[in-house]
Amino acid sequence: MTMTVPAPAVEVFNADYSLLDRVGWQAAVSMLMREVAYALEAHDPPQVLRSPTAAIELPKSLLLVRYAPVPYRREADHASRAEILTRDANRCQFVGCGGSATTIDHLLPRSRGGGNTWHNLVASCEACNGAKANRTPAEAGMRLVREPFRPGHL
């Protein structure tokens, strides 16, 4: 399947409706296909992924069928610290900063189940990382210069 525009990350909710992670559209589609998760919220307008033989609506969020006591998908969308710094060219990804990144920020904090994934990690300077603390960017009133993505060659 292909997307004509970059698809936003999909939020994954655990079976108890707690926010667990953010994953790329490929991982989201895979979870739907394997029936380990259901679509929870739809995009408005709908975002439809098309292949020559099928079409699937990409949800805004997914709900796991079974409660995941341990993060389940570290392998599927995993990224290393070095990979994230390279993708983000060692620049802090928070709007209004532009500083040199020396740390990696988890958008959904690790303490709240956020994984080491392409869609949950961004390069950050220490000041922004510290200001955001144990919150999501929305909770902290901070925005990203771009949606984190998985490079096509990885």
Residues in touch with Zn ion (CB under 5 A): 92, 94, 97, 99, 125, 128
CB of 97 to Zn ion, least distance (A): 3
Q: Given the complex with Zn ion, which of 71 and 99 has the nearer CB atom?
A: 99
Cβ 11 vs Cβ 19: under 8 Å? yes
CB of 18 to Zn ion, least distance (A): 28
Cβ 29 vs Cβ 59: under 8 Å? no
Residue 143 CB partners (closer than 8 Å, separation 6+): 94, 95, 137
Q: Given the complex with Zn ion, which of 46 and 98 has the nearer CB atom?
A: 98
What's the CA angle centered on 48, arms 88 and 118, to 5 degrees?
20
Q: Given the complex with Zn ion, which of 69 and 141 has the nearer CB atom?
A: 141
CB of 2 to Zn ion, least distance (A): 34
